[in-house]
Copies of this chain bind each other. A is one copy, B any other.
Amino acid sequence: MIAITSHNTTDERIAEIVHWIEKHGVSAHVSKGEDRTVIGIIGKADPVMAEQLRQMSGISEVIKISKSYKLASREFHPADTVISIKGVEIGGQDLVVMGGPCAVESPEQIDEIARLVKAAGGQVLRGGAFKPRTGPYSFQGVGVEGLEMMAEAGRKHGLLTITEVMTPEYVDICAEHADILQVGTRNMQNFDLLRKLGTIQTPVLLKRGFSATYDEFLNAAEYILAGGNPNVMLCERGIRTFETYTRNTLDLAAIPVLKQLSHLPIISDPSHGTGRRELVEPMCKASVAAGADGLIVEMHTDPDNSMTGDGVQSLFPDQFANLLLDLEKLAPLCGKTFSTKKEPVLAGSWKK
């Protein structure tokens, strides 16, 4: 940690600050510059100390050199984390594709979509039973029954399942039914939810808050890891910028950055990251080229009539299958493996 003094800080004040620092059991190295002085703090400093120093008179800036997260950092844990669930490995050699509708609507809908995800080569079925919605009058999901419909479809077609959990009290029931729990972008800093997820072992896909920095994102992961659950994967899903043509700006540089700062697997979500169907395919390919460990993609058999209105970003089943055929060729050039049955899904070959 380094503290930099203000322009006019007197030698007396510097001495007082140094005295205050040393009282806390760490040592201070003073380097006088032309018009400011730099105080290096050496030793294991309490994180509160940085915050206190920053607000002292005579100090203009405090720079932390050690990161505020530890368990999530690659420095602490150099090897890639690989999360193994019923034979599927996330963060390892295989590219993992998660596909499905924004919301579970009926047993028939989710069964047919599960069939199509499997046929195309996907490994995980996504679907929301509880939906976070901007306004109170929008469709809020079908609830617990949706969890059961999805679990059943996953079992039948041999797919893992992932679903969003929005509040600590639903963590247990969601974990009973789904293989992976998703924390949505609006809940990335719902600290009680993160703490609760730290107490179980079910893998968690943590979505980046749409205005979260990398540092805040990794600190949110740290909440879960620090609680005792090591099975966290990070998900880039677009950030909010001034550009409104796309729903969000998918920040693909996040993939190599997070790979460098952390050992956790990284999944990319081009559906929410762009909000436009025609951009999903190129941004899926770009995500894999940037080094993603997996993709989460919205697919729907009847997007015109989806209940959440997210159909606008959902692929049709044949588009989804064609994308996966392309990924099969692309993956080996990007250090990954991925295999399909090499058969396209024909347009119109599904039940709406």
Question: Which residues of A are at the interface with B, using a C-beta cutoff of 8 A?
Answer: 1-2, 4, 7, 29, 31-36, 38, 40, 42-44, 47-48, 50-52, 54-57, 63, 65-66, 68-69, 75, 132-139, 166-169, 186-187, 189-192, 195, 210-211, 213-216, 219, 222-223, 226-227, 239-246, 249-253, 255-257, 260, 273-274, 278-279, 282-283, 285-291, 303-314, 326, 329-330, 333-334
Contacts and interface: CB of A to CB of B under 8 A. Distances in A.
A330 to B, nearest CB: 5
Given A29-B31, A31-B42, A307-B48, A242 B240 contact: yes
A1 to B, nearest CB: 8
4 shortest interchain CB distances as A-B pairs: A51-B309, A55-B312, A211-B211, A55-B311
B210 A191 contact: no
B40 A33 contact: yes
A12 to B, nearest CB: 16
Nearest to A67: B135
Nearest to A283: B253
A191 B251 contact: no
Contacts of A66: 34-36
A167 B191 CA distance: 9
Given A68-B135, A132-B191, A137-B68, A282 B289 contact: yes
B309 A55 contact: yes
A279 B257 CA distance: 7
Contacts of A244: 213, 244
A273 B253 contact: yes
Given A34-B42, A245-B213, A279-B256, A189 B191 contact: no
A52 B305 contact: yes
A45 to B, nearest CB: 9
**Chain A contact residues: over half helix, strand or loop, or mixed?**
mixed
B40 A38 contact: yes
Nearest to A224: B136
Given A214-B245, A289-B289, 14 more contacts: A2-B2, A4-B63, A32-B42, A33-B42, A33-B65, A35-B75, A47-B138, A52-B309, A186-B190, A241-B242, A246-B257, A255-B282, A286-B289, A289-B330
A253 B240 contact: no
A6 to B, nearest CB: 10
A291 B75 CA distance: 35
A279 B306 contact: no
A90 to B, nearest CB: 19
A25 to B, nearest CB: 14
A167 B49 CA distance: 28
A113 B41 CA distance: 32
Contacts of A329: 333
22 contacts: A2-B38, A31-B31, A31-B40, A34-B42, A48-B307, A51-B309, A51-B311, A54-B312, A57-B304, A68-B134, A68-B135, A135-B219, A136-B223, A136-B227, A137-B226, A211-B211, A214-B243, A214-B245, A215-B245, A239-B249, A252-B286, A286-B287
A186 B219 CA distance: 14
